[in-house]
Chains A and B, each alone.
Chain A
Amino acid sequence: MQSVLALTPDQQSRFEEWSLAKLAALAEQFDIDITASQKRVSWAMRIASTLGALALCAAVVLFFTRYWGYLDTPVQLAIVILTPPLLLAGAEFAARRERTPYFTGLLALVALASFILNLAVVGSIFNITSTERALLPWGAFAIVLAYRYGLRLMLALGLVLLMSYAAAAYTAQIGYHWLDFYDRPEHFLLLGLFVFALPFYRKHLHNTDFPPVYRLVGALTFFIAVVSLAEWGVPSYLPWETNNVERCYEIAGLILSTAAIWWGIVRNWNGLVNIGAAFFIVFLFTRLYHWWWDWMPRYLFFAVIGVLGIALVLAFRRVRGRMIHPENKALA
């Protein structure tokens, strides 16, 4: 650095003053972390906020269960219907007082849980036949809160709820019971692709950290569906023998997870690289298990897996080396 740009002591001192003042101003304005320690504390706060929200969700449900039998129907209804708007008001109140949404996220998550409880309890009180339709307002509520307060966890939950609604509505439409919606993984395969592709069509100028959530939820859904079909092909729509369906999805999983790693590296999407690598290993080891587990001694099977793991690390290190020194690739 010093050999590239030589500053006089005075210039260096003024630059440091300016940079510290600028960082302090940015931290004050956007509540960002300017040191590694601050970043670690922020992560701890996020984790504590999420765990606190989950504990509060459990507390709300258990509270209703504990006192339910002592209340009349109008009181029960009043409590379950008024709780979500009250928690929503609490989230709004918190959002106006904090720049990083720790308490807002916590209250929004509890509001979503209480809204889910709300419709479930109303259905139970009036003996309404369960349908997939409740998934739509739950998903829409989560998405609206996610965009309003910039909550990534809420966005992921909303996408999962809306994907479940789409799969359940289609399942009911073609004659199945809607609760069997998870029984046809190919629905989720297409929905995962759709969610993954959404950020290409909808630019996020305000919530710039939302596209990775779409990609994460979409890719996870897609690959879980492929793994499921590779292991048990009976629920597939493909009109082939079950074994052929399973082999087809297994090969597709290996190719597509490799493609995901490559695409993630090219586009600098760390989440996609990690998901691709995780599922590539799952597909590879599952295939090896089917080939070798029955006839190979257990110690040898795990030894081979270990050697393959080392080979993968070496392969990834080589790829990484080429990325650091692109001229090696040109020479190769």
Chain B
Amino acid sequence: MKRASLIASAAIVVVANGLALLHAARNRTGTPEAEMTLTQRELQYFNRSTADDSGVTLSLEWTDPSSFPWPAQVQNPAIWLDQRKLRSLGFACSVNAASPDAGRYYQRQRPRQVFVALEYDGAAWRAWVETYERSVAEQRAKAQF
């Protein structure tokens, strides 16, 4: 009995690590469906090396097509995650967001697991850049005026 608990504690460590490594190995087997080369614009490298931390961090930068640094200046930004889209993802949106019960109703709603496709250097990105540049030009013109 005494030895059993010692074996059990060691076995927990071995089995947990074994399952984690097996999961990692399975995740890495097979041929990738696609490969993508990212620049530092999309995959930013942060060297946090300090006296107490020798780690580095890679951060995937992505842009919401309806998000701008100064949204009030951009006319009618396209809201891609609207009520219709939320409903199609399975969220119940029957209560009006402006009603007094909305807070309680939406706070109690379950989060859902969904997938988001990120577009790389596509039409949405080019439209965002165009809108952004136009907005910057407008801001500059206003500042000069």
Please state if A66 and B23 are interface contacts (CB–CB under 8 Å): no
A70 to B55 CA separation, bound complex (whole angstroms): 8
The 9 closest A-B pairs by CB, nearest first: A69-B54, A126-B24, A137-B16, A148-B5, A144-B9, A175-B110, A122-B20, A141-B12, A84-B13
Using A66-B52, A68-B55, A69-B55 as known contacts, say yes or no to A119 and B20 having CB atoms under 8 A apart: yes
> Which residue, A81, A123, A242, has most C-beta atoms of chain B within 10 A?
A81
**Which residues of B in the span 38-63 have a Cβ within 8 Å of any Cβ on A?**
49, 51-56
The residue from A65, A123, A177 contacting B111, defined by CB atoms under 8 A apart: A177
A174 to B108 CA separation, bound complex (whole angstroms): 13
Asked if A147 lies at the interface with its beta carbon under 8 angstroms from chain B, I say yes
Interface majority SS (helix, strand, loop, mixed), chain B: helix
Name the residue of chain B whose CB is nearest to the CB of A80: B17
A145 to B9 CA separation, bound complex (whole angstroms): 7
Q: Residues on A close to B: CB < 8 A?
A: 62, 65-70, 81, 84-85, 88, 92, 115, 118-119, 122-123, 125-126, 128, 134, 137, 140-141, 144-145, 147-148, 174-177, 180, 234-235, 242
Q: Number of B residues contacting the other chain (C-beta, 8 Å)?
A: 31
Which of chain A's residues have a CB closer than 8 A to the CB of B104?
Answer: 234, 242
> Which residue, B2, B53, B112, has most C-beta atoms of chain A within 10 A?
B53
A69 to B15 CA separation, bound complex (whole angstroms): 27
Name the residue of chain B whose CB is nearest to the CB of A174: B110
Using A65-B53, A234-B108 as known contacts, say yes or no to A88 and B16 having CB atoms under 8 A apart: no
Q: Residues on B close to A: CB < 8 A?
A: 2, 5-6, 8-10, 12-13, 15-17, 20-21, 23-24, 27-28, 49, 51-56, 104, 107-108, 110-113
Other than the known A88-B6, A145-B9, A177-B113, what 13 A-B pairs have Cβ atoms closer than 8 Å?
Answer: A65-B52, A66-B52, A69-B56, A84-B13, A88-B13, A92-B6, A126-B23, A126-B28, A128-B24, A137-B15, A144-B5, A148-B9, A234-B107
- Shortest distance between the CB of A272 and any CB in chain B (Å): 29
Which of chain B's residues have a CB closer than 8 A to the CB of A144?
Answer: 5, 8-9, 12
Please state if B111 and A175 are interface contacts (CB–CB under 8 Å): yes
Which of chain A's residues have a CB closer than 8 A to the CB of B5?
Answer: 144, 147-148
Which of chain B's residues have a CB closer than 8 A to the CB of A92?
Answer: 6
- Shortest distance between the CB of A136 and any CB in chain B (Å): 9
- Shortest distance between the CB of A178 and any CB in chain B (Å): 10
Q: List 21 A-B contacts (CB under 8 A).
A: A65-B54, A66-B51, A67-B54, A69-B55, A69-B56, A70-B54, A88-B6, A88-B13, A115-B13, A115-B16, A118-B13, A122-B17, A122-B20, A125-B24, A126-B24, A128-B20, A137-B16, A147-B5, A148-B5, A234-B108, A235-B108
